[in-house]
């Protein structure tokens, strides 16, 4: 077990190193650097160059990367070129908003997909099945910014139910959560449906039916309970996807999360901020995945046995 | 001597205004409104809000939406429109610009005089307090300008300062290395705001947020919002509003909806298509201001083939600026004929414009050696200017110029133009009122001379003009620059962009301005 | 020797049954209404995209400007209305099918070919090859696709092809994982071992035996990714990294129309619907294929 955890942590370090390297160099590929955002408008070309030297940005990228990694090894992710703020602190300040949005979106998608999935499974092949699946796919089929704008037009402007954005209070969470959540609902509905279908035909349900248990109870109690595990698994993997920050949704709803932080940093070529955020993001996700796996192991002895063998 | 110079200064301003009025003919009205108070000059402004009575109830917290991110509250680090608007809330400059008259008026300095063409002495008010309770002293001013030497935005601003000394507790003397006529004009820009020495010694990291302004910083959440509390010991007039919040809303259409919704009370920098909706809404007011940002189509004048004047002139003859204003700005905006700020000292538009003449354009192309046309890449930053590029593409196809559009983000555009790898580009440049601000547009060293245009006579004239205390001569210098630029046309000026602000119709107390001087510090909203 | 032959035979029967199997699959696919609807929409769109050049003249109908008729609401002359440059939105949406469909198809091919290749190698060979490939995949998926896109598009220049590359590269990790997982499942099955024992070359085994048997999830993923690529492209347009103007790619149309959303909602409505139905079609088809190909759901 311990070996397994150590192995995972080792892999995480490898990924973090790789990510930092790739991000650092990828940003360098893109034309434009942070100077275009911090040099004053009335600067002369010489002044810009002087500033570049002052910030050490004139040095070859390999040296800059090594410098960065020196700090990183000591646990220092550096400071933003733009705001001068500590990258770690800034990321941590934005993380709660992203977490909130991520969990709310998963919640919304579960709310949509469980009834739809059950309905589809119960009426397999009928029009109800088709309608449910199309409904589940709708959110996934619309570009997020369009869906977000439409939601704002309807719920903020016409009906006045929810604010257009900002992370103030519970109400402001609803529209962004719907925007992201509907996009996730498709996969989840599909999972609910197929795992329900699998379970429905299994022997013990046949027995339950034979014993005269009502179909509704069979479905709701027995089948659904067993379909829950794959559903939760999928929801869990989706969570890690949303955790990276929903860039577009966060922009539309002025949601102060990690996604927009990274986006603005990309626009201003704030290398330390981008690299730091993405490193922290992958660490966050790795840790969550590890915790999820460990939880599984705690619940399921079969998986625990696998860990003991050092498998994956 | 000093009085003489002061009077000269006044004369200079009156002169320039008169000349501007005479020269711009029927455009004079707009020229004035561009500087004027929107409440009297612009359409649908906050007139009913302008007359509060004793028992009027005011909204406790006012919310302003901005589309540009505020990254720092240090006045010496950044100088651009979005930041300056925030800096003006918390900080004061020594002098201010009266936007009705274009005159320099007292602010923290109650009076000043030029002891010599390189020595400016200012007397400070003695009733000013910083947010930390400290009294404003001459030593703070000395400290501020000393610190300015290391600020990213301020360092260039004080590079001509030889010495700043405190003559007594409330008197400061600034010595320059050479005469600089525009100093006072420049000192109205927030980058010259006065900081508290004590605050920065106590807290070197955040002490710069302490100013003498009406608004005291409450919370700064980067990438999200900045909130302020009213500073009740403010030396000037207090606003009835208790709290103020400047919120970053990146998506402009959403920003407008939140204004319609009542979530925000003021929305800065609306697009013209959103402006139409604000105007239609009975609960909102639209503030429309003739801007000083000149949108233009520039060439890389240092790189073949567009270093050829004839080619650039050919293009100038093939462009229909009115159509660009129609399509890009829904018809708002003032046509530009010279690459100069329209409220800037020295503005001259008496040369007329290149006539739309496709035959002449083709003749010039042939003369330049391209009778069959040529290819041209237009680099354009993401956003509304893409529409302009699309129009240029269509218009230039008429004379056989085959345009490709290279859409990039603004960071990439800046590095492309700095490196000079571009052929042509669509961009904008906001001009301040000071005449010497033109250096940014024409000096070959400037990063905002994105055309890499270099003309020795133009540089000579810029240097002459800034040391010239005789207004007529100075104006003549500036006129000559524009004459040369008009002929060599490294940049085709397209239009001056109209600025739109959407507000709650009960909002008042804002001094609207076309440059970055819009002042929100007195903002209030009357509650029904 | 005898033993060898019988194993060889078993491979051949495998092929025969797979043909039979395919017919059965098609039958089941036809029964799936959603999937058939998706297929119809896609075929229709592909036809539209292919014939767009015959139906419309790009220079005049698609990018030709007419400021006198700018921002007109939908009418009989302009079915979907006109944009701020007076271009007919109906024509632009029709022609845009070319861009959007080819972005979907080509970018998915990039992801499919690269991802399947490395996924198959990882799954088949295992060991440290697998380890390296999978960790690189982890790294790739840890980098936000927007960042990759910005780097690719800005470094190579904004063009339709570079946008396709950007979107395609972002879809590689998923293909690697799926291919690897399904290859792992078939790798140790008898007929593979048989082929190996016969001395068939490794790459031949992968291509002719392993991949075809791991195909089902890859096909499903391909269909679904085609849809999501179109969405990704529109997202990049929103961020200003889309197909350069004046090309009428749907995402660009939608993104350009959003500043008019308060007054001229049709400018976003039609391109938005076009994207929605197209992506929906790909998803329906993908879902249908999944149902059909998933052996667990056989009745």
The DSSP annotation for B408-462 comes to E-HHHHHHHHHHT--SEEEEEEE--SSGGGGHHHH-TTBTT-TT----HHHHHHH
Mutation pick from A52, A79, A101, A254 vs chain B, by most beta carbons of B within 10 Å, is: A254
Residue C135 forms contact with B (CB below 8 Å): no
- pLDDT the model gives residue A10: 86
Predicted confidence (pLDDT) at residue A44 exceeds the cutoff of 80: yes
The closest CB to that of B412, out of C154, C263, C264, belongs to C154
pLDDT tens for A14-34 read 888 988 998 888 888 778 888
Do the chains contact at A39 and B446, CB–CB below 8 Å? no
Do the chains contact at A82 and B413, CB–CB below 8 Å? no
Do the chains contact at A251 and B251, CB–CB below 8 Å? yes
* Residues of C in Cβ contact (< 8 Å) with A137: 280, 283-284, 287
- The whole-angstrom distance between B277's CA and the closest CA on chain C is 7
Residue A248 forms contact with C (CB below 8 Å): yes
C126: CB partners within 8 A, 6+ apart: none
Where residue C58 falls (left for φ over 0; alpha for ψ -120 to 50; beta otherwise) is alpha
Interface of C with B in 150-189 (CB under 8 A): 150, 154, 157-158
State the DSSP code for A86.
B
* Residues of C in Cβ contact (< 8 Å) with B326: 67, 70
* Residues of A in Cβ contact (< 8 Å) with C251: 143
DSSP, collapsed to helix, strand or coil, labels residue B502 as strand
Predicted confidence (pLDDT) at residue C40 exceeds the cutoff of 90: yes
Mutation pick from A34, A35, A41 vs chain B, by most beta carbons of B within 10 Å, is: A41
In this structure, what token pair is assigned to residue B267? 């929305």
Dihedral angle sign, alpha carbons of residues C256, C262, C267, C269: positive
Nearest to C178 by CA among C232, C120, C138, C126: C120
The torsion angles phi and psi of B355, rounded to 5 degrees, stand at: -75, 145
Q: Identify any residues that bridge with B64 across adjacent strands, giving them in sequence order.
A: B246, B266
DSSP, collapsed to helix, strand or coil, labels residue B493 as strand
Residue C231 forms contact with A (CB below 8 Å): yes
**Crossing angle for the helix pair C89-125 and C215-238, to the nearest 10 degrees:** 130
The closest CB to that of A41, out of B69, B79, B415, belongs to B79
**Crossing angle for the helix pair A2-29 and A61-73, to the nearest 10 degrees:** 150
Torsion angle of the four alpha carbons B353, B359, B360, B364, in this order, in degrees rounded to the nearest 10: 130
Do the chains contact at C70 and B409, CB–CB below 8 Å? no
Q: Which of B82-96, B258-272, B509-523 has the lowest mean pLDDT?
A: B509-523
Q: Identify any residues that bridge with B508 across adjacent strands, giving them in sequence order.
A: B524
Q: Give percent of chain B with pLDDT exceeding 90.
A: 64
The closest CB to that of B440, out of A42, A156, A164, belongs to A42
Chain B's closest residue to A268, CA to CA, is B411
pLDDT tens for C74-131 read 998 889 999 888 899 999 999 999 999 999 999 999 999 999 999 999 988 888 999 8
The closest CB to that of A32, out of B78, B411, B447, belongs to B411
- pLDDT the model gives residue C12: 55
* Residues of C in Cβ contact (< 8 Å) with A30: 150-151, 154-155
**Dist. CA B437–CA A228, nearest whole Å:** 68
Torsion angle of the four alpha carbons A78, A81, A84, A90, in this order, in degrees rounded to the nearest 10: -60
pLDDT tens for B164-207 read 999 999 999 999 998 998 899 899 999 999 999 999 999 998 99
C155 near B416, Cβ under 8 Å?
no
Nearest to B459 by CA among B475, B472, B445: B445
User: Which chains have 3 or more CB–CB distances shorter than 8 Å to chain C?
Assistant: A, B
Do the chains contact at A141 and C231, CB–CB below 8 Å? yes
Task: Give the mean pLDDT of B301-322.
Answer: 94
pLDDT tens for B2-25 read 444 444 444 444 444 444 433 333
Do the chains contact at A130 and C33, CB–CB below 8 Å? yes
* Residues of A in Cβ contact (< 8 Å) with C297: 194, 197-198
pLDDT tens for B419-459 read 899 999 999 998 888 899 999 999 998 889 999 999 999 99
B204: CB partners within 8 A, 6+ apart: none
**Dist. CA A153–CA A174, nearest whole Å:** 14
pLDDT tens for A163-194 read 988 878 888 999 999 999 998 998 889 888 88
Do the chains contact at C154 and B256, CB–CB below 8 Å? no
- The whole-angstrom distance between A204's CA and the closest CA on chain B is 54
User: Which chains have 3 or more CB–CB distances shorter than 8 Å to chain B?
Assistant: A, C
Alpha helices (runs of H) in A123-163, residue ranges in sequence order: 127-141, 144-151
**Dist. CA B356–CA B361, nearest whole Å:** 8
Nearest to A139 by CA among A247, A249, A234: A249
Interface of A with B in 74-93 (CB under 8 A): 82-85, 90, 93
Looking at per-residue pLDDT, the higher value among B122 and B37 belongs to: B122
Do the chains contact at A41 and B440, CB–CB below 8 Å? yes
Q: Give percent of chain A with pLDDT exceeding 90.
A: 28
Q: Strands B61-66 and B243-248, how do they pair?
A: parallel
Predicted confidence (pLDDT) at residue B469 exceeds the cutoff of 70: yes
DSSP, collapsed to helix, strand or coil, labels residue B389 as helix
* Residues of B in Cβ contact (< 8 Å) with C245: 386, 389-390, 405, 407
Give the total residue count for chain A. Answer: 312
- The whole-angstrom distance between C222's CA and the closest CA on chain A is 15
pLDDT tens for B211-240 read 999 999 999 998 899 999 999 999 998 999
* Residues of A in Cβ contact (< 8 Å) with C239: 247-248, 263
Dihedral angle sign, alpha carbons of residues A278, A284, A287, A292: negative
Domains defined for chain A, CATH in brackets? 2-73 (no CATH), 87-300 (1.10.3720.10)
The closest CB to that of A51, out of B152, B439, B446, belongs to B152
C181 near C120, Cβ under 8 Å?
no
In this structure, what token pair is assigned to residue A244? 């990276």
Do the chains contact at A264 and B69, CB–CB below 8 Å? yes
Nearest to B518 by CA among B66, B16, B2, B24: B66
Query: Residue C156's pLDDT band (boundaries 50, 70, 90)?
Result: confident
B509: CB partners within 8 A, 6+ apart: B239, B241, B522, B523, B524
- pLDDT the model gives residue C28: 80
**Dist. CA B504–CA B58, nearest whole Å:** 13
Torsion angle of the four alpha carbons C4, C5, C6, C11, in this order, in degrees rounded to the nearest 10: 90
The closest CB to that of B223, out of A45, A153, A256, belongs to A256
- The whole-angstrom distance between B223's CA and the closest CA on chain A is 7
What is the model's pTM? 0.85
User: How many helices (DSSP H) and strands (DSSP E) are in chain C?
Assistant: 13, 0
What ipTM describes this predicted complex? 0.85
Q: What average pLDDT does the structure give for chain B?
A: 87
User: Which chains have 3 or more CB–CB distances shorter than 8 Å to chain A?
Assistant: B, C
- pLDDT the model gives residue B453: 95
In this structure, what token pair is assigned to residue C42? 């896609």
The closest CB to that of C151, out of A29, A134, A153, belongs to A29
Do the chains contact at C283 and A282, CB–CB below 8 Å? no
Mutation pick from C40, C104, C131, C150 vs chain A, by most beta carbons of A within 10 Å, is: C150
Dihedral angle sign, alpha carbons of residues A204, A205, A211, A217: positive
The torsion angles phi and psi of B424, rounded to 5 degrees, stand at: -155, 170
Interface of A with C in 256-275 (CB under 8 A): 259, 262-263, 266, 274
The closest CB to that of B249, out of A45, A165, A269, belongs to A165
- pLDDT the model gives residue B13: 45
Nearest to B395 by CA among B297, B518, B497: B297
The closest CB to that of C142, out of A15, A194, A197, belongs to A15
């Amino acid at each position: 077990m311990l070996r397994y955890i150590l192995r995972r942590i080792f892999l995480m370090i490898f990924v973090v190193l790789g990510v930092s390297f790739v991000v650092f160099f990828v940003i360098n590929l893109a034309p434009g650097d942070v100077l275009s955002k911090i040099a004053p408008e009335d600067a002369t070309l010489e002044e810009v160059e002087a500033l570049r030297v002052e910030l050490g940005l004139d040095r070859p990228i390999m040296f800059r990367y090594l410098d960065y990694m020196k700090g990183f090894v000591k646990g220092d992710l550096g400071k933003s070129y733009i705001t001068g703020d500590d990258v770690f602190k800034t990321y941590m300040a934005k993380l709660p908003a992203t977490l909130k949005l991520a969990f709310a979106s998963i919640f919304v998608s579960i709310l949509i997909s469980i009834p739809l999935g059950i309905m589809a499974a119960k009426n397999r092949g009928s029009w109800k099945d088709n309608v449910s699946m199309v409904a589940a796919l709708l959110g996934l089929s619309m570009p997020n910014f369009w869906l977000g704008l439409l939601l704002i037009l309807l719920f903020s402007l016409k009906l006045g139910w929810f604010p257009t954005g900002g992370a103030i209070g519970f109400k402001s969470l609803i529209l962004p959560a719907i925007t992201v959540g509907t996009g996730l609902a498709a996969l989840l509905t599909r999972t609910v449906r197929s795992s329900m279908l699998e379970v429905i035909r299994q022997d013990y349900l046949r027995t339950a039916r034979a014993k005269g248990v009502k179909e509704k109870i069979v479905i709701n109690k027995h089948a659904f309970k067993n379909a829950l595990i794959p559903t939760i698994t999928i929801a869990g993997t989706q969570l890690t996807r949303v955790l990276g920050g929903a860039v577009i949704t966060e922009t539309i709803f002025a949601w102060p999360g990690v996604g927009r932080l990274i986006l603005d940093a990309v626009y201003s070529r704030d290398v330390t901020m981008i690299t730091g955020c993405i490193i922290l993001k992958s660490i966050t996700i790795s840790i969550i995945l590890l915790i999820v796996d460990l939880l599984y192991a705690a619940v399921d002895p079969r998986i625990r046995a696998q860990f003991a063998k050092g498998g994956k | 001597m000093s009085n003489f110079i002061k009077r000269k200064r006044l004369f200079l301003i009156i002169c320039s205004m008169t000349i501007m009025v005479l020269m711009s003919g029927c455009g004079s009205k707009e020229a004035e409104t561009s500087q004027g108070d929107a409440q009297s000059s612009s359409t649908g402004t906050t007139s009913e809000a302008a007359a509060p009575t004793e028992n009027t109830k005011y909204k406790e917290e006012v919310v302003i939406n901005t589309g540009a991110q505020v990254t720092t509250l240090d006045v010496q680090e950044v100088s651009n429109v979005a930041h300056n608007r925030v800096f003006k809330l918390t900080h004061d400059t020594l002098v201010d610009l009266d936007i009705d008259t274009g005159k320099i008026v007292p602010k923290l300095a109650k009076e000043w005089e030029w002891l010599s063409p390189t020595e400016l002495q200012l007397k400070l008010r003695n009733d000013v307090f910083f947010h930390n309770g400290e009294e404003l002293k001459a030593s703070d001013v000395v400290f501020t300008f000393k610190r300015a030497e290391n600020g990213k935005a301020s360092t260039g601003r004080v590079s001509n300062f030889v010495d700043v000394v405190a003559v007594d507790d409330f008197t400061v003397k600034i010595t320059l290395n050479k005469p600089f006529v525009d100093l006072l004009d420049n000192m109205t820009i927030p980058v010259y705001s006065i900081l508290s020495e004590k605050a920065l010694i106590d807290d070197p990291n955040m002490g710069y947020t302490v100013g003498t302004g009406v608004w005291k910083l409450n919370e700064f959440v980067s990438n999200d919002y900045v909130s302020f509390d009213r500073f009740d010991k403010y030396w000037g007039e207090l606003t009835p509003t208790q709290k103020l919040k400047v919120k970053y809303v990146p998506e402009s259409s959403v920003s407008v909806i939140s204004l319609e919704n009542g979530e925000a009370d003021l929305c800065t920098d609306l697009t013209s298509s959103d402006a139409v909706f604000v105007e239609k809404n009975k609960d909102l007011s639209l503030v429309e201001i003739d801007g000083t940002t000149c949108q233009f189509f520039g060439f890389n004048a240092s790189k073949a083939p567009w270093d050829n004047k004839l080619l650039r002139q050919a293009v100038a003859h093939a462009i229909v600026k009115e159509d660009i204003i129609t399509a890009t700005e829904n018809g708002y905006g003032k046509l530009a004929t010279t690459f100069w700020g329209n409220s800037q000292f020295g503005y001259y538009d008496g040369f007329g414009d290149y006539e739309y003449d496709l035959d002449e354009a083709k003749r010039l192309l042939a003369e330049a050696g391209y009778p069959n046309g040529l290819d041209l890449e237009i680099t354009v930053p993401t956003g509304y200017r893409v529409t302009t590029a699309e129009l240029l593409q269509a218009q230039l196809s008429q004379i056989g110029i085959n345009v490709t559009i290279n859409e990039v983000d603004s960071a990439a555009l800046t590095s492309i133009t700095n490196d000079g790898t571009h052929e042509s580009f669509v961009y904008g440049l906001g001009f301040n009122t000071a005449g010497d601000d033109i250096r940014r547009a024409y000096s070959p060293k400037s990063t905002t001379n994105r055309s890499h245009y270099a003309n020795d006579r133009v540089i000579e004239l810029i240097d002459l003009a800034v040391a010239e205390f005789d207004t007529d001569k100075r104006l003549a210098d500036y006129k000559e620059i524009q004459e040369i630029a008009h002929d060599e046309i490294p940049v085709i000026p397209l239009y001056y962009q109209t600025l739109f602000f959407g507000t709650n119709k009960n909002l008042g107390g804002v001094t609207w301005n076309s440059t970055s001087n819009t002042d929100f510090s007195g903002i209030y909203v009357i509650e029904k | 020797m005898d033993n060898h032959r019988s194993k060889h035979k078993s491979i051949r029967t495998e092929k025969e049954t797979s043909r039979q199997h395919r017919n059965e699959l098609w039958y089941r696919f036809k029964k799936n209404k959603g999937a058939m609807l998706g297929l119809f929409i896609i075929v229709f769109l592909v036809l539209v995209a292919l014939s767009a050049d015959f139906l419309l003249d790009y220079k005049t109908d698609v990018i030709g400007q007419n400021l006198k008729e700018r921002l007109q609401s939908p009418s009989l002359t302009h079915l979907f209305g006109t944009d701020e440059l007076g271009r007919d939105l109906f024509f632009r949406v029709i022609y845009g099918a070319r861009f959007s469909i080819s972005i979907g198809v080509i970018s998915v091919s990039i992801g499919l070919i690269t991802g399947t290749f490395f996924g198959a190698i990882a799954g088949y060979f295992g060991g440290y090859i697998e380890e390296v490939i999978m960790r690189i995949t982890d790294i790739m998926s840890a980098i936000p696709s927007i960042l990759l896109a910005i780097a690719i598009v800005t470094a190579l220049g904004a063009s339709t092809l570079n946008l396709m590359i950007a979107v395609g590269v972002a879809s590689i990790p998923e293909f690697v994982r799926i291919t690897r997982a399904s290859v792992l499942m078939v790798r140790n099955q008898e007929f593979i071992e048989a082929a190996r024992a016969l001395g068939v070359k490794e790459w031949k085994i992968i291509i002719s035996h392993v991949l075809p048997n791991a195909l089902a999830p890859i096909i499903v993923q391909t269909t679904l990714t085609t849809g999501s690529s179109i969405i990704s492209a529109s997202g990049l347009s929103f961020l200003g990294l889309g197909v350069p103007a004046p090309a009428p790619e749907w995402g660009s149309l939608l993104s350009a129309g959003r500043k008019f959303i308060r007054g001229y909602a049709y400018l976003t409505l039609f391109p938005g619907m076009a994207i929605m139905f197209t992506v929906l079609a790909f998803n329906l088809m993908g879902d249908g294929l999944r149902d059909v190909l998933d052996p667990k759901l056989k009745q």
